[in-house]
Amino acid sequence: MKRRAVQLYWCLIVAVYLGGCGLTSAQRKDLESFGNAASTLGATCKEQLIASRASVIDMKRYRLAIDKMKLPPSPPDDVPQAGAREYYFSRALNLDAGLDKSNIDTRVAAVDVLQRYGKLLVAFTTESHEKEITEAAGEFAKSVGKFPGNPMTGEEIDGLGRIVTSAGGILVEHHKKEVLENVVPKVAPLIEKICDSLEQDFDPKNGKVYANVLTVQNRLADAAIEGLKIPGESMSDRLLLIDGFALAEKSKKTVETTSPQILKSISSLRKANRELADVIRSHKVGLKDIKEFGKDVSDLSKGVKPYLDRF
Percentage of the residues of the chain whose pLDDT score is greater than 70: 77
Structure confidence by residue, pLDDT tens digits, 125-156: 876 666 777 788 788 888 888 888 777 766 66
Longest dimension (CA), the chain: 83
Best mean pLDDT range from 89-93, 175-179, 292-296: 292-296
Structure confidence by residue, pLDDT tens digits, 216-274: 999 999 999 999 998 877 899 999 999 999 999 999 999 999 999 999 999 999 999 98
pLDDT at 284: 62
Q: Is the CB of residue 251 less than 8 Å from the CB of residue 259?
A: no
CA atoms within 13 A on the CB side of 27: 21
- Following DSSP, what letter does each residue of 41-76 receive, concatenated? HHHHHHHHHHHHHHHHHHHHHHHHHHTT----SS--
CA end-to-end distance (rounded Å), the chain: 55
Q: Is the CB of residue 247 less than 8 Å from the CB of residue 62?
A: yes
Residue partners of 95: CB distance under 8 A and separation at least 6: 56, 57, 60, 61
Average pLDDT over residues 4-23: 46
Q: How far is CA 249 from CA 210, 218, 252, in A?
A: 14, 9, 5
- Determine the Cα–Cα distance for residues 271 and 32; give it in Å rounded to an integer: 16
